[in-house]
Amino acid sequence: MSGYDYISAVTGCTTEIPGRFTISGPSFQLLADGSVATGGPGRAPGPLDLLVSALVTNLLNVLHGAEELDVDEADVRTVHVRARTSRYTPDRLKVGRVEIEVVIDELDPAAAEILLEQYRRGCRVLPAVETVLDVRMRAVAAADAAA
């Protein structure tokens, strides 16, 4: 193919463990399992875990503020993200729902919600995730974050 600027190159390979796979890129390697329902061993992240992890990683990267603040790493925000996914019944178009709670240290939930709205408007990962999951994202105070 020509005309494409590749920004990611990922390969996958089966392993000696049924349902376990090695996923590699130029600078990383990780183990992943197929879903338990299809024979995956359930000890490494499965496809849904990896999809939600991509969204959580993207949230952390954007919300910690290094890009927008143009400051030293010591001055970036500390961000905590908790994502919990539930599965819908098989007759639904989407797989399930993910509930995401975001705590941004030193910001109250109202100020953090403004950043989340900016994130929602500009994120390229979120629409991809929303094709298979209903996503509910909300800012919470550290004291109110689910245990």
Alpha helices in the chain (DSSP H): 47-63, 66-69, 109-122, 125-130
Say if residue 84's pLDDT is above 90.
yes
Percent of the chain with pLDDT over 90: 57
pLDDT (0 to 100) of residue 72: 56
pLDDT (0 to 100) of residue 25: 94
Nearest to 82 by CA among 108, 110, 107, 103: 103
Query: Residue 116 burial (CB < 10 Å; 0-12/13-18/19+)?
Result: buried
Residue 131: both structure tokens together: 């094709």
Residue 97: both structure tokens together: 């729902």
Q: Computed from CA positions of residues 46, 47, 50, 52, in that sequence, does the dihedral angle turn out positive or negative?
A: negative
pLDDT (0 to 100) of residue 69: 45
Q: pTM above the 0.85 mark?
A: no
Mean pLDDT of 133-140: 94
Q: What is the pLDDT of residues 11-58, one digit of tens each?
A: 999 999 999 999 999 999 999 999 888 889 999 999 999 999 999 999
pLDDT (0 to 100) of residue 38: 86
Does domain 46-144 fall into CATH 3.30.300.20?
yes
How confident is residue 2, by pLDDT bands cut at 50, 70 and 90?
low
Mean pLDDT of 108-118: 89
Number of H helices, E strands in the chain: 4, 6
